[in-house]
Amino acid sequence: MQILLVSIQKPIITYMKILARVIDTITQQKKRHPNMQFHLNGFHPGDPRFSDPQDAVVPPPVKRPLPQEVDVLIVGCGPAGLNLAAQLAQFGTISVAIVDQKDDRLLVGQADGIACRTVEMFQAYGFADQIIQEAYQVNEAAFWKPDADKPNLITRSSKVQDVADDLSEMPHLIINQARVHDEFLKVMRQSPIKLEPHYQRKLLGLEVDPDGSTEYPVTVKLERMVNFSQYTQEIETVKAKYVVGCDGARSSVRTSIGKELVGDALNQAWGVMDVLLNTDFPDIRLKSLIHSNNEGNMLIIPREGGYMVRIYIELDKLKEGERVARDQMTSEVLVAAANRILQPYTIDVKEVAWWSVYEIGQRITTAFDDSTPDRAARVFLAGDACHTHSPKAGQGLNTSVMDTWNLGWKLAHVLTGLASEEILQTYSAERREYGQALIDFDREFSRMFSSKPKSAENPDGVDPAEFQRYFQLFGEYTAGVSIQYRPSIMVGKGDNQHLATGLTLGKRFHSAPVVRLADAKPMQLGHCHTANGAYRVYAFAGKTTPFSDDCDVKALCDYLAESANSPLKLYTPEGADADSVIDLRAVFQQHHHQVNTADVPEVLAPRKGKYGLRDQEKVFCADNRPASSGGGKNIYDMRGINREKGCIVIVRPDQYVADVLPLDDYAGLSAFFKQVLVSA
């Protein structure tokens, strides 16, 4: 009987393993290949999951007065402002108000390209999967050039992979900017402070107390744009500790602190439109970069839903100081221009959901804040208030949200007493350098895109092959993962970079697959980073047996649990969860079956919340599963982690690598946090 039972069990176990593998494969395919189709019968804003577009309509905002005093006043409900509001709202004890001149939330956006790095940030808020499922995923780019035999017609020259392998675990997406706004608004609404924007507020001006001695040194005057009678004007005054201007290229906040955008324009006009169409152009569902011989150039970006397409169309060169004649421009003019460029193919436009014309220009603000040699910053600028550039590289929204992703947790740490105002100086230093790099990249990208193809008649033109090489070379840049912040109090000097060569100091933490010990769940290690303002400290174990007497991770845990110099003890406020400021996690090389959960020390399974429940989800193992089971990608090999010695990796709350240290460098660990945190 026992032999029979065993013989029955074996095929059942094998079947269950195969079934689990199939389910896992299907799940992963759904994540990688979202398959939502919508807009078939016309464009409708809002959540496409509603069958009736009217059901997706959100009630108008409740009109209410502004508070008289706030910790942070955010001006502008664009992506930069909403990201900042969503981040600050997580802390519960910070008072925040966000205002906008519009009368309601955005319904149709213009900055709709979402870089891989931005989707990584969405994961920290918990809405990456929602966006991925709904968006168009950019997998390949097609390049088109004039046909050598028939120069007036275009022909495909090549197709290239849009995002390089292992550049990010997240895809490059296209989705209506308004849907991203909706997710930020949902995060704000569901936060401890239940934050909602105050619409219909026009900034009239702000003043900063010269010596900054008052608790609320910034006084802001706003007009409530409700009463339109010429005889009434409702003025509201708000006093704030900090003000952040996220109010666009014509920023009133920037003007109020005496800063301006400087730079130049390329005197090039472009048209853009979102359309529902039929066409014989074969790459209409691929990102397509098209150079024609005499009719100009065009960029095709497929949109979410399977039917809509965005088209960027080159218009005439402008003279010095000339502006686009918008009154002479129509959507029909843009469609006709597109058809001339696409020859021998045509487009038959059924509906124009949105269209506009714009001039290319690259400008950056003279300063990202109002600090002086005698006074710390009280007013900050972010997003388009700091930098403007062409939209074709898809960096507008992405750079804007990364501005406030950098600033938000720093403001929160200062306001909650976790850090001194000194850390706020790093915002301008880090983001201005990247903003300038973006301007330089965009200038060259726009020049190459707008130039005529190189030919015998046009020897000074751009070789389409050269343009393709440039596109591929700057793949990291357009994916948003090339940012590297310089050494500062927030970023180490790299003396121990050799211990984790693939986790570069100053660059974002490059996630990789692991298996969580407690529940054997395969997952991305980077998805431990939530938008709660905590530092992550990863202890990557060396070759020793996990939690044995000679295990370096165990020794580190003992130090952090017992030493009076432990950063966990010094900087965690009384009554707060043990991981609220510094979140310690461990990664082992061994298969997860070889690590005993009973040996996990309490510092890696801290008691949290009002019941003191243990958090069992802080220990991981390398993914040692065979490739046939979905494994085969080992984090130690992928990220160049020293297998012999292991290391400590400190990651900032905005997911950037702050330092890499030896596992036994307790002094170095303490020294880093002494620079950025204030003892509790």
- Tell me the catalytic residues: 112, 303, 312, 391
Amino acid identity of residue 553, one-letter, is: V
Q: In the numeric block, which tokens belong to residue 514?
A: 């692991």
Compute, in degrees rounded to 10, the torsion defined by CA atoms 477, 478, 480, 486.
20
Residues 391, 473: Cα–Cα separation, whole Å: 19
Closest by Cα among 352, 357, 344 to 277:
352
**DSSP element (H, E) containing 394:** none
Closest by Cα among 113, 272, 104 to 177:
113
Question: 20 CB contacts (<8 Å, ≥6 apart)?
Answer: none
Residues 69, 77: Cα–Cα separation, whole Å: 19
Whether 401 and 79 have beta carbons less than 8 Å apart is answered as yes
SS3 158: strand
Closest by Cα among 130, 400, 445 to 249:
400
Whether 379 and 334 have beta carbons less than 8 Å apart is answered as no
The distance between the two most distant Cα atoms of the chain, rounded to a whole number of Å, is: 96
Neighbours of 227 (CB within 10 A): 11
The answer to whether the Cα torsion of 349, 352, 353, 356 is positive or negative is positive
Tokens 């890696």 -> residue: 604
Whether 658 and 490 have beta carbons less than 8 Å apart is answered as yes
